[in-house]
Structure 1
Amino acid sequence: MSTLSEVYAQYPLKVDDIIPLDFDSVVTVPDSHAWPISDGFESNDWLSIPTIDLKDPDAAKLIGHACETWGVFQVVNHDIPLNLLDEVESEARQLFSLPTTQKLKALRSPGGVTGYGLARISSFFNKFMWHEGFTIIGSPLDHARELWPNDYQKFCDIMVDGQKKMEELAITIMHNILEYLAVSEEEMKWLGSPGVASTALQLNSYPLCPDPNRAIGLAPHTDNSLFTILHQRISGLQIFKEGVGWGFVQPVTGALVVNVGDLLHILSNARFPSVVHRVVMKEAKQRFSVAFFYSPPADFNLDPLGLSFGQIPLYRSVTVAEYFGRKAKDLEKALASIRI
């Protein structure tokens, strides 16, 4: 069985598309990171996306409806201790506050998926983003040793615990989605089996920017995953909703944002939109976020499920690994390439 790490190794990036800017050394936004003002970063509208209590007896119906109408929602009563979220963010702050020369010791390899570096989508744009990230799959031990040769264990323990709790939440959300779609869990045998799902924890830093109107944190994109769970304290995340345009997802204390990714869009036969989102430099302060990407195992064959009688599938069957490979080659046309 191939892993997603092996998939991405087949599509290595250029070194220049991996190394973040030394943000501490710049006093103006360099041309390499200056985005056209016309890209609409000035939107200040708040979107009234649903906030769902996972203890609500109608949680499955509410989650399904939110996926169908918005492609994004927030969850409360999610059973992830708030102090654990605080600890994960605190460790992320310490990581990104390290000198650039130290962070580069944990630089992701061109064909790698874990470690320090730019977002993988950077290679698809002609301008760089005001962002630095650190990706973890499983144990971060090897890279953590490079960052803190004598004091890495606390970071590792907190990140492993964070991933475990996030995956437990992801399984709960997925069960609710399957109930809404009237899909038999027999068709998703991998769900809930320890260590089988493809997951990744992404720590994000959006450093203080000298001219927020000329920079973007993350360019518009959709996620590969079934869905992504995001913890944000400071606003900056925007989604694009048809008929409305761009708007901010307002941080809610104690809540986590969940957005639909490409794989769930395929699984739902396009009932759930894979939400286009970006991060803008809204506030004059450094912003941190933590994202957890949840997907089936790499060799899982993904087919549109829960089809009504006579309804035809809109996408052909595709393995998770094949789809990730298509997205690694072409960010915008991967979905269209498997459309029937």
Structure 2
Amino acid sequence: MKDLCDKLKSVFFKSINMPEPIEAIEKEERYYALHLNSYPPCPNPTQTMGIPPHTDTLFFTILHQSGNVSGLQVHKDGHGWVSVDPHPGALVVIVGDLLHILSNARFPNALHRAVVNNEQKQRLSFAYFYGLPLDFQLSPYLDYPNCEGPCFKSLKVKEYASLKVKYFNSALSFIKKSG
């Protein structure tokens, strides 16, 4: 999974013509985590939430949804919550806050949640979180046409992680630059 993530990271950098900071990323330990989620059938799904709305802190998340039971929802402006139905053999890539910051908001981070279901099946998901070294300097990439300056202040990954722990989904507002 790490190799897939390293390749995806390179694809993201290349797609915005950003030189990949390989040396800065490779010299330190990156953060990886595998999170297994189990959602049992719920007779009254309106009374509980699987995982509340949030954006992922790290660079990106690769998610596998097992079976045919829906539960992942992404918030789409103008449409509200949209279900992301599972497809056999498919993976979902969720852009995280770190990629959102580095890309100067050209890759939007995804507000998403997990809801429970009243089907008679258990839902399982496997989330692989891919991060950057804690001392990596997050500086929005600005070398692209029509760039109007940075959307965010520069800071280290560990500084942003501290903001996220303290302010959760409001963390980005503390580093946004006013236009």
* TM-score (norm: length of structure 1): 0.49
Instruction: Name the structure with the higher helix share.
Output: 1
Is the Cα–Cα contact under 8 Å of residues 327 and 333 in structure 1 kept in the other structure?
yes
Cα distance in 2 for partners of 1:267, 1:195 equals: 18
* Residue 128 of structure 2: aligned partner: 292
Secondary structure (helix, strand or coil) at the match of 2:159 reads: helix
Match of 1:204 among 23, 37, 54: 37
* Misfit runs of 4+, over 4 Å: none
Q: Find the residue that maps to 1:269 and give its secondary structure.
A: coil
Contact 1:238 1:277 in 2 (8 A): yes
- Contact 2:71 2:116 (C-alpha < 8 Å) held by counterparts: yes
Q: In percent, how many aligned pairs have the same letter?
A: 45
| Alpha-carbon offset, residue 189 of structure 1 | 2.3
State the superposition RMSD in angstroms: 1.7
1:269 corresponds, among 97, 101, 104, to: 104
Amino acid at match of 2:59: L
1:168 and 2:3 aligned: yes
* Residue 312 (structure 1) shift: 0.5
| Contact 2:142 2:150 (C-alpha < 8 Å) held by counterparts | no
Structure 2 letter corresponding to 1:305: Y
Alpha-carbon shift at residue 314 of structure 1 (Å) = 1.0
Deviation at 1:232, TM superposition (A): 0.3
Structure 1: any 5+ residue segments left out of the alignment? 1-165
Q: Name the structure, 1 or 2, with higher relative contact order (CA <8 Å, separation 6+).
A: 2
Q: Distance in 1 between matches of 2:28 and 2:141?
A: 24
Structure 2: how far apart are the matches of 1:336 and 1:304? 15
Give 3-state SS (helix, strand or coil) of 2:107's partner. Answer: coil
Match of 2:65 among 218, 232, 235: 232
Which of 4, 10, 13 is 1:178 aligned to? Answer: 13
Q: Unaligned regions of 5+ residues in structure 2, if any?
A: none
- 1:119-145 deviation line (CA, Å, top 9, x unaligned): xxxxxxxxxxxxxxxxxxxxxxxxxxx
3-state SS, counterpart of residue 203 of structure 1: strand
Note if 1:315 corresponds to 2:138: no
TM-score by length of 2: 0.90
Q: Which has the larger radius of gyration?
A: 1
What is the number of residues matched between the two proteins?
Answer: 173
1:304 aligns with 2:134: no
Deviation track 1:1-31 (CA, whole Å, cap 9, x = no partner) reads xxxxxxxxxxxxxxxxxxxxxxxxxxxxxxx
